[in-house]
């Protein structure tokens, strides 16, 4: 919060103006950091909002849902505009927890922040302790999402501390990193979703505008997402192995936005 500065007395106005003029002439003004967008101006998806999640292949814009979650690198501004013309909100998928060898900014990530493989080809966990290194890199990715017109960001892999990454990551490291990620999105006027990271939902529900979850039904964890629903925030949820007959009744009772998807996250979907 910015603290209010008292208005100077009338007798000091001229002196203050002269001092400011001298400062401006002697050195350039620094570029200010983006100010966080007021929460009232950001999109806030409500519990139960229907959605499509497609990260593979050319986006099928004909799915009759109000929200699309698509890859930020693989889709251009024209695709986002097309979805907007159809009255849809669009979420920008970005990997925030792992280095990816197939992205155009791969060389920007120093080798020192690249850890063990996360099990996906060409991906390595990031050392999220190095906030000063990763903040500007993630800021550039979020700038890309904003410039393409996305309404929100889905930053993937926000739970590195629960995995074997090659770094001694703790829950506190993850909280600091995830809050930094949320702030970057909000500074650019975009909503942001908490991806998985179930144990830290109580601490982070106030920092994020919605949640994205994979397989909470399979692991009997869906009730853990209730704080988001209680706060009036959507939980976008998918299952891969569980049939809809096994999870949809509970999902509806909890207020989740649930569907079954194939692991490649193509066009196919089976909503509740």
Q: Can you give the CATH number for the domain in which 239 is found?
A: 3.20.20.70
Does position 36 have pLDDT exceeding 80, yes or no?
no
How much is the average pLDDT of 212-220?
98
How far apart (Å, rounded) are the C-alpha atoms in residues 172 and 178? 10
Domain membership flag for residue 111: yes
How far apart (Å, rounded) are the C-alpha atoms in residues 42 and 91? 13
Q: How confident is the model over 44-74, as pLDDT tens digits? A: 999 999 999 999 999 999 999 999 999 999 9
Q: How confident is the model over 223-244, as pLDDT tens digits? A: 999 999 999 999 999 999 999 9
* Residues with Cβ within 8 Å of residue 228, at least 6 apart in sequence: 47, 194, 201, 205, 208, 210, 211, 234, 235
How far apart (Å, rounded) are the C-alpha atoms in residues 37 and 107? 31
Count of structural domains, the chain = 1
* Residues with Cβ within 8 Å of residue 125, at least 6 apart in sequence: 97, 98, 99, 114, 115, 116, 117, 118, 157, 160, 163, 165, 166, 167
Does position 76 have pLDDT exceeding 80, yes or no?
yes
* Predicted TM-score of the model (pTM): 0.86
User: What DSSP designation does 119 have?
Assistant: S
Higher pLDDT, 222 or 32: 222
Does position 187 have pLDDT exceeding 50, yes or no?
yes
pLDDT value for 28: 39
Q: How confident is the model over 10-33, as pLDDT tens digits? A: 333 333 333 333 333 333 333 344
Does position 147 have pLDDT exceeding 70, yes or no?
yes
Domain membership flag for residue 36: no
pLDDT value for 99: 98
pLDDT value for 16: 35
Domain membership flag for residue 14: no
- Which alpha helices (DSSP H) does 115-268 contain, by range? 131-147, 171-187, 201-204, 226-230, 244-254
Domain membership flag for residue 157: yes
pLDDT value for 33: 43
pLDDT value for 32: 43
- Please, what is the average pLDDT of the chain? 89
How far apart (Å, rounded) are the C-alpha atoms in residues 160 and 137? 18
CB 194 within 8 A of CB 157: no
Distances (CA, A) of 115 to 17, 77, 222: 52, 32, 30
How much is the average pLDDT of 126-144?
98
Domain membership flag for residue 12: no
pLDDT value for 158: 98
For Cα atoms 97, 98, 99, give the angle at the middle one, nearest 5 degrees.
140
pLDDT value for 41: 86
Q: How confident is the model over 172-184, as pLDDT tens digits? A: 999 999 999 999 9
pLDDT value for 250: 97
Write out the residue range of the structural domain in which residue 79 sits: 44-271
Domain membership flag for residue 17: no
Domain membership flag for residue 1: no
CB 59 within 8 A of CB 68: yes
How far apart (Å, rounded) are the C-alpha atoms in residues 192 and 210? 7
């Amino acid at each position: 919060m910015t603290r209010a500065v008292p208005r100077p007395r009338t007798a000091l106005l001229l002196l203050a103006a002269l001092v400011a003029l001298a400062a401006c002439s002697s050195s350039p003004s620094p570029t200010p950091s983006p100010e966080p967008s007021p929460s009232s101006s950001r999109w806030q998806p409500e519990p139960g909002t229907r959605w499509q999640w497609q990260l593979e292949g050319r986006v099928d814009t004909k799915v009759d849902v109000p929200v699309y979650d698509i890859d930020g690198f693989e889709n251009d501004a024209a695709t986002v505009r097309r979805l907007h013309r159809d009255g849809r909100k669009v979420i920008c998928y970005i990997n925030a927890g792992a280095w990816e060898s197939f992205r155009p900014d791969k060389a920007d990530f120093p080798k020192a922040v690249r850890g063990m493989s996360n099990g996906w080809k060409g991906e390595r966990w990031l050392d999220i302790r190095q906030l000063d290194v990763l903040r500007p890199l993630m800021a550039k990715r979020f700038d890309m999402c904003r410039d393409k017109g996305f309404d929100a960001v889905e930053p993937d892999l926000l739970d590195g501390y629960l995995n074997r990454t090659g770094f001694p990551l703790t829950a506190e490291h993850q909280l600091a990193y995830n809050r930094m990620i949320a702030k970057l999105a909000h500074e650019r006027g975009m909503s942001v979703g908490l991806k998985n990271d179930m144990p830290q939902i109580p601490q982070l529900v106030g920092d994020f505008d919605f949640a994205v979850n994979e397989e909470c039904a399979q692991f009997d964890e869906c009730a853990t997402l209730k704080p988001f629903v209680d706060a009036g925030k959507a939980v976008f949820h998918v299952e891969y192995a569980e049939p809809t007959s096994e999870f949809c009744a509970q999902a509806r009772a909890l207020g989740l936005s649930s569907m079954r998807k194939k692991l490649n996250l193509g066009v196919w979907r089976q909503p509740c």
